[in-house]
Structure 1
Amino acid sequence: MGEFFDVDDGGPLRLELRSVDGRDFTLLRRVGYLTPEYDEPFVVPRDQEAFATDLASVPHLFTWLVPKSGEFLPAAVLHDALIHPGDYDGPRVERHEADRIFRVAMVHLGTGRVRAWLMWAAVTVGTLWASRDLRKRTQLVAFLGIITLVGTLATLDLLGVTSVMPWMGGPWPTELALGAAFAVAIPTVLSVGWGRYWRAGVIIGVSLALLLHVTAVLLLIYGLYLTLERLVSGPADADGVRVRDRRREHR
C-alpha cells in the first residue's frame, strides 16, 4: 500500500485547507503520496490556480451513508488531483487507475472496506460518464433505468398494487426474501456488460436495488425541503447561494 507524507518536511501528512467559497478548497501545504507501484511520488500543489478540491464529491442525498469528509479525506483530495493531469506532479495515470489508487489509499487510511469500495464504485460511474463515449453512457443509463424499473415494479407487487414480477408471490416473508435475492442477482448479471468495471457495476446495481425505497423517501423529503427553502429564502443564484436576505440587509 501507499503512504501519504508532507512534501515540505518529509514527515507525516499535514492536511491544511483554505476555503474558497465554502464548497471548494485549496491546499495550504502540499500533499504527497508514494506507492511501491510507482518510482515517483504523486504531489498535489498548494496554490489555488493549479488545484482546488471539493473534498468527497458526495450528493447531499447520500451523506447519511458516505460523509463529505472523514479519515478518507487525503485520498479524496489526491483523487481530485489525479483525474486532472495538470493538477499534480508525478506519474501520469489514466482515470480508471486514479480510481483504483483512491480505493487503495482509503483502505490504508483506515476507511472500512465496504465504504471504500462503495466510494470507488461511485467514482467509477463518474469515470464512465466522463469518457464521453456514447455507448458507455447509453449502457450506464440503461443499466440504472432497468434496475430502477424492476425495483419499482417489485415494490408495487409487494404492496399488492400490481402483479407483474413472476417471483413476487406468496407470503410476504417469501416475497421479501425473493425480492432481496433478485435485487442481487439481476444487477450482477447486468454488470457483465461493464467489462473490466464489472465489480463497480455489481456494487452500484445492488446498492441501488436494495436502497431504492430509502432513496425514494429521501428524495421526497429533500424535495419538500428545497421547496420550503425556496419559498422562505428565495431562489438560489448561479452558485447555489441564496442571497435574498443578504440583499435586504444592504438596502
Structure 2
Amino acid sequence: MPFLTRRGEPLTALPLVYRRGRDFQIVEEFLYRNPRDGSTTLVPAHAVDLPPGEGNSTDFASVPPFLWGLIANYGTQTLPAIMHDALVGQLLREPDDQRLALRREADELFRVALIDNGVHRLRARVMWAAVGLESWGRHGGARGRLLIGQVAVGVLTIVAAVSLGIAVSPWGYMLALAPTALAALWGSTYGLVSSATYLAALYAPLILGAFLASHVENAIAMIVWLATGCKGPRPQAEPTVAWKDEYAPESAAPEPR
C-alpha cells in the first residue's frame, strides 16, 4: 500500500474535520511512498481550531460538480488528491518564479500516486492533464494562457477533422494530427499539451452531455420551485454540497482555490 501512517503502517483510515461547504481539513499526518525511487512525501496535519479555509485543507479531487457523474471528487483518488492539495498549498510560500516548476513536480507525483493507488491509467491521465492545465493557467503567465489557448484550438481542430472525415473525405481525418505536431513546440511539456488536447476532444461529448443534463434538471427544479411559491433555496445546477451559514461570519467562508 503506497499510503502509510507516520509510523510506516498501511493507512486504513484518515480522520478529517468537515468545514461545511466543500472543505475538509486533515487531523493526522500521513505518508506517501513513491514506488519509483522509494522516496516518501509527508502530508502534514493541522490544528483543528484553525478557521475554515486555513491550514491543510482539501476539497478532494477538484472536479466541477456537473461532472461528478463521470469522475467523482472522492474515492480511490482521495488520498492522492489530498496529498496534491497539500503540496500545492506548500508551494504558495515559494517565490513566484519557482511555483510552476514545483507545481509540475506535484502534478507528476499526483499522477503516479493515482495509478499506484488503483486508479486506471486513462482516468489518471485525464486528472493529471486537468491539474496540469490549471498549473499553467495559475502560474504560467502569458505562456500559460498561450498553452491553454493552443489546447482549445487543438480540440476544435480535432472536431473539425472528424466532421470533415465524415462529411467530405476520409483524408479529413489527417487534420487531427496537426495538434501533435504543434505540441512538439512545447518541448518537455509536449506530453501535457498533447494529452490535454486529445483527451479533451475525446471527453467533449460526455462533458457537454453532463453540462446540459445538469441544466435541464435545474430547469425542472426551477419550475417546481416557482410552482410551490419559491419555498426553500433557489435551485442551482450542481449537487447540493454547500449552503450559507447564517450564524457564521462572512470572513469564515472558505476562499475559492
Q: Any residues of structure 2 matched to 1:128-167 within 5 Å, and which?
A: 128-144=136-152, 146-151=153-158, 153=160, 158=163, 165=164, 167=165
Residue 108 (1) aligns with residue 106 (2): no
Larger RCO: 1 or 2 (CA < 8 Å, sep 6+): 2
Q: Which runs of 5+ in 2 are unaligned?
A: 94-98, 226-232, 247-257
Is the CA contact (8 Å cut-off) linking 1:76 and 1:102 kept in structure 2?
A: yes
**Helix, strand or coil at the partner of 1:94:** helix
Show CA shifts across 1:156-205 (max 9, x none).
xx5xxxxxx4x4446xxx75x965x654x233223223332221222221
Report the 3-state secondary structure (helix = DSSP H, G, I; strand = E; otherwise coil) of the residue aligned with 1:83.
Answer: helix
Q: Distance in 1 between matches of 2:128 and 2:38?
A: 20
Deviations 1:114-144 (A, max 9, x none): 2212211111111111114112213312431
RMSD: 3.4
1:220 aligns with 2:227: no
1:62 and 1:201, CA in 2 relative to 1: closer, same or farther beyond 3 A? farther
- In the TM superposition, residue 61 of structure 1 has moved relative to its aligned partner by 3.1
The one-letter code matched in structure 2 to 1:29 is: E
Q: Rate the CA distance shift 1:37–1:83 in 2: closer, same or farther, 3 A.
A: farther
CA-CA distance at 1:19 after TM superposition: 1.3
Task: Tell me the SS of whatever aligns to 1:140.
Answer: helix
Question: In the aligned structure 2, how far is the partner of 1:94 from the partner of 1:68?
Answer: 24
Contact map agreement 2:107 2:131 (CA 8 A) in 1: yes
Task: Tell me the equivalent position of 1:187.
Answer: 179
Distance in 1 (CA, whole Å) between partners of 2:33 and 2:3 is 6
Q: Is the 8 A contact 1:82 1:98 kept in 2?
A: yes
**Alignment partner of 1:65 is 2:101:** no
Question: Is this contact kept in 2: 1:235–1:242, CA < 8 A?
Answer: no
Pick closer, same or farther for the CA change 1:191–1:62 going to 2, 3 Å. farther
**SS of corresponding position for 1:42:** strand
Amino acid at match of 1:150: T
Q: How does 1:1-251 map to 2 (within 5 A)?
A: 3-7=2-6, 9-13=7-11, 14-35=13-34, 37=37, 41-47=41-47, 48=50, 49-85=54-90, 94-144=102-152, 146-151=153-158, 153=160, 158=163, 165=164, 167-169=165-167, 179=173, 182-183=175-176, 185-230=177-222, 232=225, 233-234=233-234, 241=242
Q: Which runs of 5+ in 1 are unaligned?
A: 159-164, 247-251
- Of residues 40-49 and 204-213 in structure 1, the stretch that sits farther from structure 2 once superposed is 40-49
Kept after mapping to 1: 8 A contact 2:56/2:86:
yes
| Mapped partners of 2:129, 2:116: distance in 1 | 17
Aligned length: 221
| In 2: Cα distance, 1:182 partner to 1:214 partner | 22
CA distance in 2: counterparts of 1:190 and 1:222, whole angstroms: 35
Closer, same or farther in 2 for the Cα pair 1:20/1:112, shift >3 Å?
A: same
Matched residue of 1:56: which SS?
coil
